[in-house]
Chains A and B, each alone.
Chain A
Amino acid sequence: AQSVTQLDSQVPVFEEAPVELRCNYSSSVSVYLFWYVQYPNQGLQLLLKYLSGSTLVKGINGFEAEFNKSQTSFHLRKPSVHISDTAEYFCAVSLSGSARQLTFGSGTQLTVLP
């Protein structure tokens, strides 16, 4: 079975500052990795995904993440945040080769302060 740990439940950051949201996973087999964003009372929107290949993955809205197999991490970064980035961010894994059901972390609330 897979599990996901998001180490920070809340991250406040000032506008235009950089941010990193941390994600560690546990799995005995190869996995796919995802970051989703959720705005209040909305569903989840995919930010980026790692399936294979380059370990640095670029997504929408200027976000990127790096897959580190040795550290079993998939941290999300953005060099300069905007007020509109305020949302809940979820890291998720699925078994590789199937992209079936996702196992989610508990989420990180990113709050961008003016």
Chain B
Amino acid sequence: DTGVSQDPRHKITKRGQNVTFRCDPISEHNRLYWYRQTLGQGPEFLTYFQNEAQLEKSRLLSDRFSAERPKGSFSTLEIQRTEQGDSAMYLCASSFSARNTEAFFGQGTRLTVV
């Protein structure tokens, strides 16, 4: 068990560019979550998957945000046409639904839009 892995750890992009982040959950976990954390705030829930099904996506911040988990393993979060307000830490977490256990978080991807 290597924990939740996120890549890249840091991303600097120009306004208007598209970015994609990857999350590899703990191997036996079937639930995967994405959160956004801005400076001085707690994480804010964005979306979650159970296996490959995206069960909640109403909290995605705009239609520029999308997430996929095509084979029920790793997930990607894409932001199109980035804006300066998208600068934040993007956190991924995973859990195992059958045990109703807590979520384990990755170290996050810090996005800076310039």
Contact = CB atoms under 8 A, between A and B. Distances in A.
Genuine A/B complex: yes
Interface of A: 4, 34, 36, 41-46, 49, 51, 90, 92, 97-107
B41 A101 contact: no
Contact of B45 (A4, A36, A103): A103
A41 B37 CA distance: 11
B48 A101 contact: yes
B100 A98 contact: yes
A42 B91 CA distance: 10
Interface string B21-38: 000000000010101000
Size category of the B interface is: 20 to 34
Contacts of B102: 34, 46, 49, 99
A43 B100 contact: no
Interface stretch (B12-20, B67-75, B103-111): B103-111
Nearest to B3: A43
Contact of A43 (B31, B40, B91, B97): B91
B42 interface: yes
Interface in B83-114: 91, 93, 95, 97, 100-108, 110
B70 to A, nearest CB: 21
A106 B4 contact: no
Given A90-B42, A99-B101, A101-B45, A41 B33 contact: no
Contacts of A99: 95, 97, 100-103
B100 A102 contact: no
A41 B9 CA distance: 9
Residue of B95, B103, B107 with highest tally of chain A CB at under 10 A: B103
A41 B108 CA distance: 8
- Nearest 10 pairs of A and B residues by beta carbon: A104-B42, A43-B105, A101-B45, A44-B105, A43-B107, A99-B100, A90-B42, A104-B43, A46-B102, A43-B106
Contacts of A42: 107-108
